[in-house]
Amino acid sequence: MKQWTIGVIGGSGLYDLDGLRNRQTLSVNSPWGAASDELVTGELDDVRLVFLPRHGRGHRIPPSALNARANIDVLKRAGCTDILSVSAVGSLREELPPGTFVLVDQYIDRTVSRPASFFGEGLVAHVSMAEPVCPRLSAAAAAAARSAGAPTVEGGTYLAMEGPQFSTKAESHLYRSWGCSVIGMTAMPEARLAREAELPYANVCMVTDYDCWREATAHVEVSHVLEVLQSNADTARQMIAALARSLPHERAPSPIDTGLDYAVITDPGLWDPALAEKLAGICPRKFSTGVAA
């Protein structure tokens, strides 16, 4: 087996993975509440994959109700070394038509009602989000997307909106003026929490439509989005298989793997024991005993 264990978070349209060897369903408890669904584990090309449908199978959970803390926590507890997030998005750029896969590398977070950190009163940490995605995993995913036949763009800014409604036209034009490339409802606080859990994270954004800024196109409707989702999901499955084939046998360490070594600021003697116990899932070497490592 290769040393990688890739956690795959499937977005709209991607609710399962095909072709997994030694397929198992895994239920993992989290002190942060219930994850979106059970995990499915298995192997592709000697790489262990752990799959979680972000909205639950059958798309039961709206963006604002997603328990991103539990989702990231159970993936870490299941042994994931890295996370590949697959998201359906709208395009804010003419050159990013439906069907394009965008490997974003920046975010603007406009969500307002979601817990955005594992840390809090009694145990404070500040992780760096200057470079919010893993360049190594993003580059590998981009190459895999191209090999799967997807028009692929590396780099771009993801505007994370609260939802569940789509943008107003004024909002869409505002986000374009900010230099955003795509718009979605789920990558934040997911990317922040992955960094707090010391999990290198890459975000493959599958464009399903132009957002409502584009006068020549009908405004966003779910029926239009669904037409593109199935095609994108089929390509995403091929991309994931290609990624598994391409990963080297040895997984070199990443600086993200130990990011909390430089982030926790609270004096260990003052840690809230209950919060430290909850944090054991995202960083067992520091928090499993309730004392600093």
Residue 94's alpha-carbon distances to 100, 144, 219, in angstroms, are 11, 24, 15
Q: Kindly indicate the confidence band of residue 232, based on its pLDDT and cuts at 50, 70 and 90.
A: confident
Peptide bond into 63 cis (omega under 30): no
Helices 135-147 and 222-246, packing angle to 10 deg = 110
Q: Per-domain residue ranges for the chain?
A: 5-287
Q: Are 80 and 194 in contact (CB under 8 A)?
A: no
Residue 223 confidence (pLDDT): 63
Q: Kindly indicate the confidence band of residue 288, based on its pLDDT and cuts at 50, 70 and 90.
A: confident
Q: Kindly indicate the confidence band of residue 218, based on its pLDDT and cuts at 50, 70 and 90.
A: low
Type of residue numbered 222: V
Note the pLDDT tens digit of each residue in 24-81.
999 999 999 999 999 999 999 999 999 999 999 999 999 999 999 999 999 999 999 9
CA distance 91 to 102: 10
CA distance 44 to 251: 16
Domain 5-287 has CATH 3.40.50.1580: yes
Nearest-Å Rg of the Cα atoms of the chain is 19
Residue 222 confidence (pLDDT): 62
The tokens describing 79, both together, are 């042994």
- State the average pLDDT for the chain: 94
User: Would you please indicate which residues are annotated as catalytic (active-site) residues?
Assistant: 209, 211
Note the pLDDT tens digit of each residue in 160-209.
999 999 999 999 999 999 999 999 999 999 999 999 999 999 999 999 99
Helices 187-196 and 68-77, packing angle to 10 deg = 40
**Taking the CB of residue 152, how many other CB atoms lie within 10 A of it?**
19
HEC sequence for the chain? CCCCEEEEEECCCCCCCCCCEEEEEECCCCCCCCCCCCEEEEEECCEEEEEEECCCCCCCCCHHHCCHHHHHHHHHHCCCCEEEEEEEEEECCCCCCCCCEEECCEEEEECCCCCCCCCECCECECCCCCCCCCHHHHHHHHHHHHHCCCCEEECCEEEEECCCCCCCHHHHHHHHHCCCCEEECCHHHHHHHHHHCCCCEEEEEEEEEECCCCCCCCCCCHHHHHHHHHHHHHHHHHHHHHHHHHCCCCCCCCHHHHHHHHCECCCHHHCCHHHHHHHCCCCHHHHCCCCCC
User: Taking the chain, what is the end-to-end CA distance rounded to the nearest angstrom?
Assistant: 29
The tokens describing 42, both together, are 């298995």
